[in-house]
Amino acid sequence: QSVLTQPPSASGTPGQRVTISCSGSSSNIGSFTVNWYQQLPGTAPKLLIYSNNQRPSGVPDRFSGSKSGTSASLAISGLQSEDEADYYCAAWDDSLNGPVFGGGTKLTVL
């Protein structure tokens, strides 16, 4: 059972906008910034969003992040087939004194 809670799956059709939620508590998301990772099949995770809503160089602006209270969201607009991947949220946790991850959301592009 992961400290951060994500829906196990999400789906959308090409061109659609989808959102993936990440729910935590005051000891993690409520107190620290959230980062998002994209893991394409058979590859290592890649940083997608950092500090709640910042995109690393090279990440398309179709990807955006937000945070409110103890929850965060990742939004993908103009969905493309290459967006089919697993997405993980992460945040520091004061109770663990370390980073924690969500259980991951498998995004399917229909």
Partner 1 sequence: QVQLQESGPGLVKPSGTLSLTCAVSGGSISSSNWWSWVRQPPGKGLEWIGEIYHSGSTNYNPSLKSRVTISVDKSKNQFSLKLSSVTAADTAVYYCARAVTSSRFDPWGQGTLVTVSS
Site for partner 1 contains 87 (CB under 8 A): no
Single residue of 24, 32, 65, 67 touching partner 1 by CB under 8 A = 32
Binding to partner 1 (CB under 8 A): which residues in 47-66?
A: 47, 50-51, 56
- Three-state DSSP class for residue 15: coil
Site for partner 1 contains 44 (CB under 8 A): yes
- Three-state DSSP class for residue 6: coil
In angstroms, what CA-CA distances link 19 with 23, 27, 58, 69, 96? Answer: 13, 24, 21, 17, 28
Q: Which is nearer to partner 1, 2 or 19 (CB)?
A: 2
Q: At 83, give phi and psi (nearest 5°).
A: -85, -5
Residues binding partner 1 (CB under 8 A):
2, 32-35, 37, 43-47, 50-51, 56, 88, 90-92, 96-104
